[in-house]
Amino acid sequence: MPDLLIELFSEEIPARMQRRAADDLKAKMTDGLVEAGLTYGGAAAFSTPRRLALALEGLPAESPTVVEERKGPRVDAPEKALEGFLRGAGVSKDELEIRDEKKGQVYFAKITKPGRPAEAIVAEVLEGVIRNFPWPKAMRWGAGSLRWVRPLHSILCVLTDEAGEASVVDLEIDGIRAGNTTQGHRFMGQGRFAVTGFEDYAAKLKRDKVLLDPEERANHIWQEATNLAFAGGFEVVEDKGLLAEVAGLVEWPVALMGEIGEEFLGLPPEVLQTSMKEHQKFFSVKNPKTGRIERFITVANVETEDHGATILAGNQKVLAARLSDAKFFWENDLRVAKDGMGAWIEQLEHVTFERQLGTQAARIARIRALAQEIAPVVGADVEMADEAARVAKADLSSEMVYEFPELQGLMGRYYAEAAGLPEDVAAACEEHYSPLGPSDEVPTRLVSVAVALADKLDTLTGFWAIDQKPTGSKDPFALRRAALGVIRIVLDNGYRIKLDRFIDGQLLRHKIGLNAKKASEGEIDTLEEVLEEVADHGVFGAAFQAVLDRLKDRDGAPETGDGSLLRTVGDAVPDLSTDLLAFFHDRLKVYLRDQGIRHDVIDACLELDGGDDLALIVARARALQEVLATEEGENLVQGFKRANNILRQAEEKDGVEYSFGADVKFAEAPEEKALFAALDRAERAIAAAVKDEDFGAVMAAMAGLRAPIDAFFEAVQINTDKEIVRRNRLNLLNRIRVICLQAADLTRIEG
C-alpha cells in the first residue's frame, strides 16, 4: 500500500499560524481522501517557518468500486419521469430492474462507480485544499489567482509503494508543478534535492540543517538554553508561549546567551522580561542568588564561525536601545508616582472607557463608591478600599503601561509603593484585575477583594445597563470572565455576600449616569432634581456633581423637575438585576460542573432564598449531591415526585389547591399515622437546620422521610371513595412537597 508525502514550500509563514495550518492541512486532506474512498493507516503533519508537510501511511492503490442502488419511479409513471430518472442515474432502460412493492411495481437501477487510481484522487483533493486553504490572512502575487499566506514556491507530492519506488503526483497549480524535490536551510542548505518518501525526506532535511518537527525544535531550544544558563550559574525563566513562538521562527535553532547592561538591572524584572519578549523574542535568564534578570538568551537560525559572537553583539546593541526606552519610561513614571499620581488620575478624565459608559474617571468614581459599600462586608478598611479604588487605574496613564499594556496593574503596584501608599493599597492596584483565567489565584487581601469585586460588578452592571450582553460565543468585553471572577473570589474566600444589594445599587448608578450624560449634552431637560436627590443620598460622587453644576449653568435649564425620571430609572433596575443574576447562575453552573456537581442539583438549589448568596447555593448543592449519592436519597426523590405528580393531577382535576388542612385524626392506616409523625419531626428539624444553615442536617432530615413515605404509598390508596379521607391524604402529600422544597427544589432533579 502506497505512502503519501506532501510538502508546500513558501516564504516564511508567521509563527502564530504554523500549528493551525499544519492541522488544517492534515484534516482537509484526510477528509477529502476518505470522502473519495481512500482510507489510510496513519497521518502526521509538520511545520517549519518555510514549509507545511504531511505524511500519510497505508493508502490503497485505488479507491474501491462502489455499487449504488437507486430507487426510481413506478412502472406506470409518466414517460418523462422515467427519462429524467435514467438521465440522473446514467443508465439505459434495459439496465433497470423491476420490483414489487406495496404501491405497485417500481424501477430500480444499480449504478456501478469504478475505483479510481490513488494518484488522481490525491491530485484532485490537494488542488482543492491548496486553492481553498483557510489562512487567517492570505496574499495573491504575480499573475496567478492562487492566494497563500506568503508566496508559494514549490509543491512536493510523491506516492511511495511497498518496494520503495516513488512516483510524482501529476499536479499543477498556477504554474507550480508538483515534483519530488525540496530544499533545506535558506543559508546552510546545499540546494534542492530529491526524496523518495518521508523517512528519506526528514533525514535529508536534517542533513541540510532543518528540524522538521516543531516539538523537536522546541525541545532542542529549551535544552540548549537551560544548559547555557546552568553553566553560568543562572536559570531560564520558563515561558511556554515564547518557546512555541521561537520554535516557529527558526528551522535550525542555535541558542546564544548574552548580558544585560548594568545600567538596566535596576528596572523591575517584569519590565525587563516583557521588553525582551515582546521586542526581541529573548528568553529572560535569572540569577537565583539575587532574583534579578541579568542575562538573556536569543535563538539564532544559523551556525557561524565565531560561534554567534557577531549575532550577540548586534542583539545586545538593539536590546540596549530598547531598554534605554524602558528606563526612560520608568524614571519619568516614578517622578509622577512620587508626586502622588494626581496627574495620571486627571488624564483619565479624557480617556473613554466605553462610549455610553463614559470616561475612565467616571468609572473610577463608581468603583470607589461600590468599593466603600463592599469593604465592610468583606472586612476591609473602608478608607483604604476607597484610596485603592482611586489609584487602581492610575497606571493606565503611565508611559510604561502605554508601551506595554500587559503590565497594567503590576506597574500600578510599583507606582503605589513609590508614592508611599500602604502595602494593601499597592497590592490592590495589581490584584484587583485577578482572576483573569480559571487557573489564576484569586485575591485574598481584604482591600484587594473589595476593589476587585467592585471593578467586576461595575463592568457587568454597566454593560447590562446599556444592553451589551454576551451573545452566543461572542463576549467582546469579557463579561463571562468577570462573572466567573466574582464567583471565584466569593467562594474561594468563603464570603457570605448577597449580590442583589450591590447589583441593584450599581445598576442605578449606571442608569442615572447615562441620563446625566444625556442631560449634559442637552438631550433631556428634566434631570436637575433627579441629580440633586441622588447626590443628597450619596449614590454617586464628584463626577455627577460636575454634571449637575453644568446643568445649572446651562442657558434655559429648568429650575426644577418632577422626579418622574428617577422613578423611571428605578423601575428599570429590577428587571436588569434579575437578568444579570441569571447570568451569574449560568456561570456558577459551569464552575460547579467542573467540580463534579450535577447540573440538575445546581438547578434544584438556585432559586431558594433569592439565589443571590453564592456560598449558600454551593453549600446546599454539595449537601444535596451527597444525599442523592445514597440509596435513601435516590428513593426519596422518587417518592417526592410520586407525591407531587399525584397532587398536581388531583389539583388540575378538582380545580382546587390542596395546601392545608391535613389532620392526623382522619388517618386510617398505621403507615398513614406514622407519616404524619415523621413529617412533624422532619419539619422541625429542617426548619432549625435551615436557620443554622446546616445543610448536611437539612438533607439528612429530608432523607429520613424515605422509609415512611415508601411505607405510606405501599399501604394507602390516595384516591379512596371516602372524600374526606381523600382530601386529607392529598393535603398530606402537600406537606411532603412543602417540607422537601424547604431543602431543595426536588422537581428539578432528573431521573
List, for residues 413-425, the tens digit of each pLDDT value: 999 999 999 999 9
Choice between 668 and 559, residue whose per-residue pLDDT is larger: 668
Residue 129 is predicted with a pLDDT of 96
Average pLDDT value for residue range 87-99: 83
User: What is the arithmetic mean of pLDDT over 393-412?
Assistant: 96
pLDDT confidence of residue 223: 97
Lowest mean pLDDT among 309-313, 528-532, 662-666: 528-532
Lowest mean pLDDT among 174-188, 197-211, 587-601, 602-616: 602-616
Do the Cβ atoms of 2 and 160 come closer than 8 Å? yes
Give the per-residue pLDDT at 535.
47
Q: What is the mean pLDDT of the chain?
A: 88
What does the angle CA 299 – CA 300 – CA 301 come to, to the nearest 5 degrees? 125
pLDDT tens per residue across span 332-382 = 999 999 999 999 999 999 999 998 888 999 899 999 999 999 999 999 999
Whole-number Å distance between alpha carbons of 744 and 607? 9
Q: Where are the alpha helices (DSSP H) in 466-608?
A: 479-492, 499-520, 528-536, 542-553, 564-593, 599-606
Closest of 462, 428, 455, 454 to residue 376, by C-alpha? 454
Helices and strands in the chain: count of H runs, count of E runs: 27, 20
Question: Can you read off the three cell numbers belonging to residue 744?
Answer: 431543595
Cα(277)–Cα(652) distance, rounded to whole angstroms? 70
pLDDT at 610: 67
What pLDDT does 522 receive?
Answer: 53
Q: Is 101 helix (H, G, I), strand (E, B) or coil?
A: strand
Bond prior to 435 in cis (omega within 30° of 0): yes
Which tops the pLDDT comparison, 91 or 553? 91
pTM: 0.78
CB of 115 within 8 A of CB of 64? yes
Nearest-angstrom CA–CA distance, 743 and 738: 9
pLDDT at 558: 39
Question: Which pLDDT score is estimated for 521?
Answer: 55
3-state secondary structure 256-307: EEEECCHHHCCCCHHHHHHHHHHHHCCEEEECCCCCCEEEEEEEECCCCCCC
Yes or no: say if 460 and 504 are a contact pair by the CB < 8 Å rule.
Answer: no
575 has pLDDT over 80: no
Which residue has better confidence, 609 or 192?
A: 192
If phi > 0 it is left, if psi is from -120 to 50 it is alpha, else beta; for residue 58 that is: left
pLDDT for 540: 44
pLDDT value, residue 164: 80
What was the pLDDT predicted at 18?
Answer: 96
Residue 91, pLDDT score: 82
Strands (E), 127-286: 139-140, 147-148, 152-160, 166-168, 172-173, 176-177, 181-183, 192-194, 235-236, 254-259, 283-286
Beta-bridge mates of residue 152: 10
Please give the radius of gyration of the chain, using alpha carbons only, rounded to the nearest integer: 36
What confidence tens digit (pLDDT) does each residue in 56-70 have? 998 998 888 877 888
Distance CA 202, CA 586 (A): 50
Q: Which residues have a Cβ under 8 Å from the Cβ of 550 and sit 6 or more positions away?
A: 520
Please tell me the predicted confidence (pLDDT) of residue 75.
82
Q: Which amino acid is at 75?
A: V
Q: Tell me: the pLDDT tens digits for 648-670?
A: 998 888 888 888 778 888 888 99
Give the residue, 727 or 534, on which the prediction is more confident: 727
The pLDDT of residue 565: 44
Residues 433-471 have pLDDT tens digits of: 999 888 899 999 999 999 999 999 999 999 998 889 998
Q: Are 1 and 58 in contact (CB under 8 A)?
A: yes
Encode burial over 88-124: b for 16+ CB neighbours within 10 A, e otherwise. Answer: ebebeeeebeeeeeeeeebbebeeeeeebebbebbbb
Q: What is the pLDDT of residue 263?
A: 94
User: pLDDT band at 695, cuts 50/70/90?
Assistant: confident
Rounded Cα distance, 565 and 46, in Å: 64
Nearest Cα to Cα of residue 445 among 373, 375, 366: 375
Host H or E run for residue 689: helix 670-692
Sign of the Cα pseudo-torsion (254, 259, 260, 265, in order) = positive
Res 378: pLDDT: 96
pLDDT confidence of residue 518: 59
β partners of residue 62:
117
Residue 672: burial class (beta carbons within 10 Å; 0-12, 13-18, 19+): buried
Q: Does the structure show a pLDDT above 80 at 516?
A: no
Q: Which pLDDT score is estimated for 720? A: 87
Nearest by Cα to 451 from 401, 384, 540, 509: 384
The enclosing H or E element of 105 equals strand 104-113
CA distances from residue 243 to 137, 214, 238, 331 in whole angstroms, order as listed: 23, 10, 8, 31
- In single-letter form, the type of residue at position 626 comes to E
Alpha-carbon distances, residue 260 vs 203, 267, 505 (angstroms): 38, 11, 52
- Cα–Cα distance between 412 and 399 in angstroms, integer? 12
Average pLDDT score over residue span 667-689: 90
Please check whether residue 260 is in contact with residue 319, taking contact to mean a CB–CB distance below 8 angstroms. yes
